[in-house]
Amino acid sequence: MLPGHRSLLLLGVCSILLLSACGSSSYGTSSGSEISINGTGNTSGNPTGNPIGGGSGITGTNNSVVATPSVAGIVSVVVGTKQTISVTFTSSDGRAITGFGISGSLSTLPTSWSGPGRFTCASVSTGSGCVLNLTYAPGAFGSGTLALDYVFVDNASAPSTGGSLTIAYRATTNDKIVGTPSKTALDVVTGSSTAVNVTFATDDGHPASGLSVTSSLAALPSGWASTSNTFTCSNVAVGTGCQLGLTYAPTVIGSATLSLSYSYFDDSGTAKTGTVSIPYTARSPPHLYVGQLGNSSLYYCVLNVDGTLASCAATGGSVFGAPTGIVFNGNNFAYVADWNKHAVYLCSVGLDGSLSGCASTGSGFSAPWQLAINGTTLYATNADPTGGVTTCSINGDGSLSACIESLGSGTSGIAAGSSYVYIGAGVNTVDVCAIGVSGSLYGCAPTGTGFSGVDGISLSGSYAYIANQGNGTTSVCSIDTDGSLSGCVASITGVSPTDVVIKGNQAYVNDAIAPSGNIYLCSVGPVGVLTGCMIYNGGTSFNYGVQIAVH
């Protein structure tokens, strides 16, 4: 290159650097001091070896600047924190380079990046003599690329404007992977099968990676099974893309919690662990419970798949005198009305359906006959000649309090809906009462027609069923929007029915005919009428059965 041309390029480099130092000092600076470019020639008018001056040519090498950031690859920083990234500039061959500087201004860095206004180094060679410090402090999730262009004069005094460095960066979060089961808790009967899907997703919608269920899926608790013995997801964010399929099909009763542990890397790359828990309970199949006036035992019978009864046995212990009524409050509690002892008992319900720990609770009962529940209120009819309906509050532990008995002339059956209660208020009368504040009853009035010796009452969908002990029938009535009963039609269901309960398309009718009672299994027709009733006692004789319940 002609000497004059080289001088022009040197002048151009210094112009690009603005006021960058083009001198020969060996340290970096952001002060903006003047830089002069020194060649490798002598003090004569021409560089040493300049062919024009008769020398042998310019000495030195056409080396370059190598930029090495302190973080290799993508710079990942958690939102709300900061990190300093040091960029070290060195010579590609260890020989000195002069007039180095970052092109333009560093004040226009991408959002969340900061550094000096400008940066220059008079000399670049080896080591850490020329280091640019930048800070990345993201305030929000995001990503991008930081580009730095730089100029310099190589060891052969040739100016260069082609140096550049790009730094990919990403703002991350310390997110968590949460496992959410499709059923938060299971309460099923043995012999059933329930599918449960566990969906893994991040709590903030940002990505995480490397999820692996560390619990053994090949050794799950009894009744549990997985679609695979191992489960992993390379990437996790939102949606159902990472979902573990499980099945619970218990064969024995029991109660426990399934816990699955898993590991993963959060968005910032930090290793983390988590656990998903699913409480589960397996109960025995449904039972039919039969209260009896002529026997001190309350019976319960297994309901077979076809609806027939089997394995009937006494339950609840020997505390009862004449357990005529029964109603359940959730899965854990049952209430038993004892006509003989003028009491209501609170019993615990076992996983096998048996009753235990029965103890008297509440007060104000006069020969209680049958029971019903609405929310946190229990209603008991009283067969005493002056008995009305006793209303009690149900406490959190199941006990009864604040019991108040209304006036009456002896009441029999009772059923509670969401807004109305139906009461056997007379021999041939059913009253409908509105449910008020705290479960109180008001506006009671007769409803429906065609009843005879009213006893047990049940509700199912838009129909009410009334056992007519006086003529061996069960009436089915439509429930109107105002709670009144209409269109009542009677079906023959035994000799002296005392109660009826509906389970799907089948009905059970308690027939109290002396000297022994029977349970009738009936089909429920399209308009609720009971047909095809047959006796199914499960090999047991009942003594004046009264209220029945399926649980």
195-254 per-position pLDDT tens digit: 999 999 999 999 999 999 999 999 999 999 998 999 999 999 999 999 999 999 999 999
The CA distance from 502 to 99, in Å, is 95
Predicted pLDDT of residue 231: 98
Q: Supply 322's token pair.
A: 């004449």
Predicted pLDDT of residue 53: 38
Q: How confident is the model at residue 86 (pLDDT cuts 50, 70, 90)?
A: very high
Q: DSSP H helical segments within 109-181, as ranges?
A: none
Predicted pLDDT of residue 106: 87
pLDDT at 526 over 60: yes
Predicted pLDDT of residue 66: 97
Predicted pLDDT of residue 545: 92
Predicted pLDDT of residue 26: 35
The CA distance from 27 to 152, in Å, is 14
The per-residue pLDDT of the chain, averaged, comes to 89
Predicted pLDDT of residue 546: 96
What would the 3-class secondary structure string for 174-240 be?
CCCEEEEECCCCEEEECCCCEEEEEEEEECCCCCEEEEEECCCCCCCCCCEEECCCCCEEEEECCCC
Q: Which domains does the chain have, with CATH numbers?
A: 3-172 (2.60.40.10), 177-283 (2.60.40.10), 287-550 (2.120.10.30)
Predicted pLDDT of residue 364: 95
Which residue did the predictor score with more confidence, 538 or 229?
229
Predicted pLDDT of residue 6: 42
> How many helices and strands in the chain, by DSSP H and E?
1, 43
Q: How confident is the model at residue 9 (pLDDT cuts 50, 70, 90)?
A: very low
Q: For residues 530 and 468, is the Cβ–Cβ distance under 8 A? A: no
pTM of the model: 0.67
Decide: helix, strand or coil at residue 11. Answer: helix
pLDDT at 343 over 60: yes
With 0-12 / 13-18 / 19 or more C-beta atoms within 10 angstroms meaning exposed / middle / buried, residue 418 is: exposed
- 82-86, 102-106, 506-510, 525-529: least confident range: 102-106
pLDDT in tens, 248-283: 999 999 999 999 999 999 999 999 999 999 999 999
Q: For residues 95 and 125, is the Cβ–Cβ distance under 8 A? A: yes
Q: Given phi > 0 = left and psi -120 to 50 = alpha, else beta, which region is 92? A: alpha
pLDDT at 22 over 70: no
pLDDT in tens, 93-143: 999 999 999 988 788 899 999 999 999 999 999 999 999 999 999 999 999
